[in-house]
Amino acid sequence: MDGKTVGIIGFGNIGRQVAERMRSFRTVVVAYDPYVPHEVMEKLGARFTDLDELLAVSDVVSIHVPLTKETKQLIGRKELAMLKDSVVLVNTSRGSVIDQEALVESLRKGKIGAAGLDVLAKEPPSSTDPILGFENVIVTPHIGWYSEQSSSTLQENAALETERILTGKTPKHPVNPEVISKRRLP
């Protein structure tokens, strides 16, 4: 990874953690997220760029966005064509963020070096889904986060958040912070 460029699409909590980890590998990190101030990215060692440049310069592209109208098929034929032929494309966000038919086409043409997909457009995939037939594609069933430690941490944090709510405190990790900030919990 030394000297490679890692492009991070979506610079929320997960995208930021990826950026932090990439520093250990001495990579160049570029990031695209229209909702995050550039200063936040720079503080974590990432350079803000637009999506087109990110796709063109990255050796690895890692996607961490929610599925919205704006992000549905964010990576389509046009965007896949901008990628280096040797790129490793990683999607751990939502399957429909990538046009999966276009991805299959790009893989068949050798326009993608490899893909790591924790999510697919249709889950679970059928056994005849063409994405499953490539040797340079790894597919996991939306469990890329899982380890014994992460499972234990998840359970512990859920219990602590429940305790905070039941004792009238504001949760540290609300699912919808806008709702929490507008009303006081009982």
Whether the per-residue pLDDT at 186 is higher than 50: the answer is: no
The pLDDT value recorded for residue 178 is 53
- Whole-model pTM above 0.85? no
Shared domain check, 161 and 87? no
Q: Is 123 a catalytic residue?
A: yes
Mean pLDDT for 39-60 is 96
26-47 pLDDT per residue, tens: 999 999 999 999 999 999 999 9
| 83, 164: one domain | no
CATH of the domain at 43: 3.40.50.720
Question: Which of the residues 20, 42, 123, 156 is marked catalytic?
Answer: 123
Segment 111-133, tens digit of pLDDT: 999 999 999 999 899 999 999 99
Of the candidates 38, 47, 142, 164, the residue annotated as catalytic is: 142
User: Could you tell me what percent of the chain has a pLDDT over 90?
Assistant: 77
Q: How far apart are CA 163 and CA 10, in angstroms?
A: 31
47 is catalytic: no
Q: In Å, what is the CA distance from 165 to each residue of 5, 179, 185?
A: 42, 14, 7
- The number of distinct structural domains making up the chain is 2
- Residue-number span of the structural domain to which 178 is assigned: 148-182
User: Do residues 56 and 78 share a domain?
Assistant: yes
